[in-house]
């Protein structure tokens, strides 16, 4: 009886370990090939994304590169099963020359495009992007911020913020996007380190994935594990917001 009990106990531990390993492998497969969760640490994509938003990024949208893999192993160059991104996509990517940091911005420039900002207005190939003033965005401290609806040439529409006139990124030189690269900008135009600055043009290989949906949102200074704060700090209206 004792031997049988010991065998059952040993078998139970083995089965438990087997289930744990299988679960970890499944999670790794999902994270590598399907979805990866990301949190938003800064306000560079406001008002589209807020600090404290948690979102799923699809890994298959653009195919797979070393940067879409866990730990970014240099197994191959370029992309496998590659699909081109669309103008207006919200994209997670690795910054060139700083490839251990994930950035999230909006893709506004395709290969061959001429991109320039003139008096705060984005121009693509010499044509100003349609921009309409809408109701101010109210920051968490109650400050009103000018908000604009911007519509790209392919019809993709989204909101941007204009924190201050004549900021460093409001008037730029003309950028010509090289082949195999993309031009990224934050929706919070005056508070975004993006392709106008030292991020530069982003290689296709550096794209991690496409932001798809906000699955959780809580005030930026609150951990999602602090469940007791959810009644006052949860943002239920942002949960399941579709991004593309």
Q: Supply the residues annotated as catalytic.
A: 44, 105
- Which of 22-26, 97-101, 139-143 has the least mean pLDDT? 22-26
CA 47 to chain centre: 13
Q: Which residue has the tokens 């594990």?
A: 225
Instruction: Check whether 5 has a pLDDT greater than 50.
Output: no
Nearest Cα to Cα of residue 47 among 221, 183, 192, 165: 192
Q: What percent of the chain has pLDDT over 70?
A: 89
Of 129, 180, 188, residue with least CA distance to 154: 129
Q: Does the structure show a pLDDT above 60 at 90?
A: yes
Local confidence band at 111 (pLDDT 50, 70, 90 cut-offs): very high
Quick one: tokens of 83? Answer: 């699909």
Residue 116 clears pLDDT 80, i.e. is over it: yes
pLDDT tops 80 at residue 118 = yes
Beta-carbon contacts of residue 44 (< 8 Å; ≥ 6 apart): 104, 105, 186, 187, 188, 191, 192, 193, 194
CATH, domain 2-242, list 3.30.2010.10, 3.40.30.10, 1.10.760.10, 2.10.109.10? 2.10.109.10
| pLDDT digit string, tens, across residues 163-181 | 988 898 999 999 999 999 9
Distance CA 104, CA 120 (A): 21
User: 3-class SS at 92?
Assistant: strand
Question: Residue 98: what are its φ and ψ, rounded to 5°?
Answer: -145, 65
Report the distance separating Cα 98 and Cα 116, nearest Å: 24
Question: Which residues does 10 contact at the CB level (< 8 Å), separation at least 6?
Answer: none
Note the pLDDT of residue 2: 45
pTM of the model: 0.84
Lowest mean pLDDT among 1-10, 170-179, 227-236: 1-10
**192: Cα separation from own chain's centroid:** 13
Tokens of 131: 């921009």
């Amino acid at each position: 009886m004792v031997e049988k009990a010991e065998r059952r106990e040993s078998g139970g531990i083995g089965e438990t370990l087997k289930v744990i390993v299988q679960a970890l492998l499944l999670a790794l497969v999902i994270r590598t090939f399907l979805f990866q969760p990301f949190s938003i640490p800064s306000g560079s994509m406001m008002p589209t994304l807020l600090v404290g938003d948690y979102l799923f990024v699809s890994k298959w949208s653009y195919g797979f590169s070393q940067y879409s893999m866990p730990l970014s192993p240099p197994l191959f160059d370029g992309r496998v099963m590659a699909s081109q991104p669309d103008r207006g996509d919200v994209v997670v990517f690795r910054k060139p020359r700083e490839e251990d940091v994930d950035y999230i911005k909006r893709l506004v420039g395709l290969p061959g495009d001429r991109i320039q900002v003139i008096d705060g207005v984005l121009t693509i190939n010499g044509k100003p992007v349609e921009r309409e003033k809408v109701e101010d965005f109210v920051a968490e401290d109650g400050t009103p911020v000018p908000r604009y609806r911007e519509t790209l040439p392919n019809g993709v529409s989204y909101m941007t913020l204009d924190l201050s006139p004549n900021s460093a990124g409001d008037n730029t030189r003309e950028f010509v996007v090289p082949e195999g690269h993309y031009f990224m900008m934050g929706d919070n135009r005056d508070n975004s380190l993006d392709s106008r600055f030292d991020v530069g043009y982003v290689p296709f290989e550096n794209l991690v994935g496409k932001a798809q949906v906000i699955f959780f949102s809580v005030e930026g200074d609150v951990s999602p594990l602090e469940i007791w704060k959810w009644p006052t700090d949860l943002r239920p209206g942002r949960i399941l917001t579709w991004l593309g």
